[in-house]
Amino acid sequence: MVKTQGVKAVPARGRGRPRGQSGTREAIVTEARRQFSELGYGRTTLRGIAREAGVDPRLLLHYFGSKQDLFKASVELPMEPEHVIDVVFGSGVDGVPGNAARLMLSVLDDAETRRPMQALLRAAVTEPEAAALIRQVLTERLLLPIAQRVGGKRPELRASLLASQVVGLLLVRHVVGIEPLAAASRDDLERALVPVFEHYLRGDWLPE
């Protein structure tokens, strides 16, 4: 509850040097990230973020336009999409399903990298206006580029099937915690999931 500092547009941190524009923006995003993940999308307000970040609420609108845009800016992907592509395609196209499944498992098993995805999922389920975001972030930025580069028919459909398995796993293993999936070893899940990733990405199941 850092109620302090009136509403001075770009407040100084204590009495020190005032933050520059990018410092203010960064402070807003950091605070937004914290509140979205702790309170969920619905209970987070621009006013509350502004207060805790110690900035004028109008600055949030100035920088981000809307709550939804601020949410989008605050979603961290565990890694940059370009880097994901490098890792996933590192051993050629045959290795893609295995690399993608292993990368997903390691991202979801680490609480730190899982958190933004979890926040996104909660928001998507409870707030219709936030639902489009999971699509942009998970499907368009991550899975579709993979499916497109793998090649084959209808990469969008393949990517969204993959998305359905990824969010299903996140939900059942980490959010709801259904046993024994919640406690299953990474090795067992890899055995279970790699063939499914292979099938969705490269399987020959689509009609001519």
How is residue 113 written in tokens?
A: 């990298």
Binding site for a second copy (CB under 8 A): 40, 121-122, 124-126, 131, 134-135, 139, 154, 156-157, 160-161, 163-169, 171-173, 175-181, 184, 188, 191-192, 195-196, 199-200, 203, 205-207
- Tell the smallest beta-carbon distance from residue 181 to a second copy (Å): 4
Q: In this complex, which beta carbon is closest to a second copy, that of residue 21 or of residue 45?
A: 45
Q: 61 vs 196, which CB is nearer to a second copy?
A: 196
Nearest-approach distance from CB 114 to a second copy, in angstroms: 14
Stated length of the chain: 208
Closest CA to 194 of 110, 107, 102: 102
- Residue number with CB closer to a second copy (10 or 125): 125
Distances (CA, A) of 76 to 23, 79, 84: 17, 8, 14
Q: Is the dihedral of CA 148, 154, 160, 163 positive or negative?
A: negative
Residue 204 CB, shortest distance to a second copy, in Å, is 10
Q: Work out how close the CB of 199 gets to a second copy at its nearest, in angstroms, rounded to a whole number.
A: 6
Task: Find all residues with CB under 8 Å of 121, minimum gap 6, and list them.
Answer: 134, 167, 170, 171, 175
DSSP 76: P
| CB of 66 or CB of 136, closer to a second copy | 136
Q: What tokens does 13 get?
A: 């941190």
**Least CB distance to a second copy at residue 28 (A):** 26
